[in-house]
């Protein structure tokens, strides 16, 4: 039988109980550890994050969220700011994956027309 624990009744928060309570995934899916921030405010994340770009989001409650990120060149940023254009690109990619392609123009006919104009 599963035991019920009211966390407000505990003098401490039992982090080890979180996976059993379904609040966070177990260690196979997600790792939770404690780290110490050094005197200069630095935190090491380990080799998994070495040389990676991350977003550091500070929440009002003091929590810090570290999100792996990818940089987007400035000349391509417009696409991510234009929902309609981005949707069209994704629709095109999905169509290509499904084998749906637009009818290509007859380039030879266009070349023959251009040569006839000479």
Domain segments of the chain as ranges: 7-68, 74-116
Count other Cβ atoms within 10 Å, centred on residue 17: 13
Whole-angstrom distance, CA of residue 92 vs CA of residue 100 = 9
The pLDDT assigned to 107 comes to 84
Local confidence pLDDT in tens for the 118 residues of the chain: 555 555 555 555 555 555 555 554 544 556 778 889 999 999 998 898 899 999 999 999 988 888 899 888 899 889 989 999 999 999 999 999 999 988 888 888 867 666 665 6
The pLDDT assigned to 103 comes to 87
Residues in the chain: 118
The pLDDT assigned to 29 comes to 55
């Amino acid at each position: 039988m599963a035991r019920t624990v009211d966390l407000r009744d505990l003098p401490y928060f039992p982090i080890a109980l979180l996976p059993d309570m379904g609040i966070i995934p177990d260690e196979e899916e997600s790792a939770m550890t404690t780290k110490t921030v050094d005197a200069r405010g630095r935190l090491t994340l380990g080799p998994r994050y070495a040389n990676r770009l991350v977003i550091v989001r500070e929440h009002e409650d003091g929590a810090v969220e570290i999100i792996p990120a990818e940089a987007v060149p400035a000349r391509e940023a417009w696409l991510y700011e234009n929902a309609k254009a981005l949707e069209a690109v994704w629709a095109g990619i999905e169509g290509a994956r499904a084998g749906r392609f637009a009818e290509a123009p007859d380039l030879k006919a266009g070349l023959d027309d251009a040569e006839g104009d000479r």
